[in-house]
Amino acid sequence: MFSLLHLALRNLFAHRERVLLLLGITAAASGVIVAVSSLAAGVATAQREAVTTFLTGDLNVGGFFKVHPDSIAPVVGDAGKVRGVLEPQVPQGCYLRERGRSFALAGAGRRRTGSFLVGMDVASEKNSLARFRVASGRLEDLARPRTLAVSTTLAERLKVKTGDLATLFAQPVGGGRRNALDVEVVAITEKAGLLGESAGLLVSNETLRELDGFKPGSAGVLQVVCGDTPVDVDALGTSLRDSLRGAGFDVLPAANQSYAEKQMLLLREGWRGQKLDVSTWEDESSFMSFVTLGLTALAVLVSLVVLVLVVMGLFVALSVAVRERTREIGTLRAMGMQRRGVVALFMTEGLLLGFVGSALGVVVSSVLCVTLRGAVPLHEEISNLFFSGTLPLTPNLGLCVLAVVLVTLGAGLATLIPAARAASLTPRSAMESL
């Protein structure tokens, strides 16, 4: 084995020009795979951060309440009892927070615009507030009653700035005339991708309850937030559903839909009262999954195309090399090397080329991704789609190892037929070519 490896290395050094060309091909292939995969991973990370900042926890326990069959509100009436069931099961390293859910029409002068309204417990969410990007004002001022934070997109539509007054309109539980509440704009948040319009209004939970007419002690949703703590949210969700059912609550079955999508479907049903719903962050952001799924599909497609091109390029180059090395192959056969030895020699050369070239490409591409991460500004439409104002690139060790393995295997596959062709040469044909 050692002598075979030594012979393969000597042959590679003897054909340096061709080897450098093939190393460049394999390095470029692995570099492209890492770059595209890093972009897909970076967008997925940015999307999750935006979604878990504005809309959802890692796991959510919300509910729907129907005063009569023709109206529905996204609220948990007896939040204290639900919290009592949840708190013993919150994993270590995670915590429970309360958020409000609603939809409101915001007005300033003659201008009107609608958006989902998010309620926050400002006093207990100081760590979460730091994750919002604020263009002007202070989110901490939401602790004051009748105050509002608005996204830059909605602020431009309403022509408001911090310190201005706006009016929120919302339909109270049970229908009837719309409630109206004058609020002071205390902060303007920067865009968060596609969420700039779907979660553009932030208020305190108390202001949301006053606007929607919810009773004290009610909550829109209780969210389990785990940050970097690894948690199996699907298993935890199943456990919480069982516990809530055991405590006497009517709990909806699991469904990969956001609460707004479920609310539209439940509005058509004829029941009254309270039903709880347990959802993951992926359920709540399912309406945006086309972004990450599309980029993942693009990364797979690009990787396949690159691998096919690498295999074809190496196959052609190695086929030419076999013809050029007929004398060498024949001499080795005449000296007693068996056909399996010739195949193993060419396969070793191909695998070495694939491994060294792909490893170089992965290193260079990873360094470039880390260097360019957060340094390349994006156009507005692209930044909305990518949930980031700069190019989000997140290379990771798993993707790098996968790129090296795929390109090395591709190089080995490309070598297979030329190696078999070389092994088919007889010592006599080599002697005739001398």
Going by C-alpha positions, the residue among 5, 99, 15 that lies closest to residue 56 is: 99
pLDDT band at residue 3 under the 50/70/90 scheme: confident
pLDDT at residue 343 in the model: 82
* pLDDT > 90? residue 420: no
C-alpha to C-alpha distance for 80 and 96, rounded to whole angstroms:
12
Cβ atoms of 347 and 377 closer than 8 Å: no
| More confident call, 196 vs 244 | 244
* pLDDT > 60? residue 433: no
Cβ atoms of 254 and 93 closer than 8 Å: no
pLDDT band at residue 51 under the 50/70/90 scheme: confident
H, E, C per residue of 102-169:
EEEEEEECCEEEEEEEEEECHHHCHHHHCCCCEEEECHHHHHCCCEEEEEHHHHHHHCCCCCCEEEEE
Q: What percent of the chain has pLDDT over 90?
A: 36
CB crowding 225-236: b at 16 or more within 10 Å, else e:
bbeeeebebeeb
pLDDT at residue 345 in the model: 83
pLDDT digits (tens, 9 = 90+) for 58-78: 999 999 998 888 888 899 988
pLDDT digits (tens, 9 = 90+) for 236-262: 999 999 999 999 999 999 998 888 899
pLDDT digits (tens, 9 = 90+) for 122-155: 888 877 787 888 889 999 999 999 999 998 888 9
| More confident call, 83 vs 10 | 83
Going by C-alpha positions, the residue among 371, 362, 194, 370 that lies closest to residue 294 is: 194
H or E segment to which residue 310 belongs? helix 289-324
pLDDT band at residue 429 under the 50/70/90 scheme: low
pLDDT digits (tens, 9 = 90+) for 21-50: 888 888 998 999 999 999 999 988 888 888
Mean of all residue pLDDT scores within the chain: 86
| More confident call, 382 vs 272 | 272
C-alpha to C-alpha distance for 102 and 85, rounded to whole angstroms:
24
C-alpha to C-alpha distance for 142 and 145, rounded to whole angstroms:
7
Does the pTM of the predicted model rise above 0.85?
A: no
pLDDT at residue 147 in the model: 95
Q: What percent of the chain has pLDDT over 70?
A: 95
pLDDT digits (tens, 9 = 90+) for 154-165: 899 999 999 999
| More confident call, 281 vs 13 | 281
* pLDDT > 80? residue 177: no
* pLDDT > 70? residue 195: no
C-alpha to C-alpha distance for 264 and 101, rounded to whole angstroms:
14
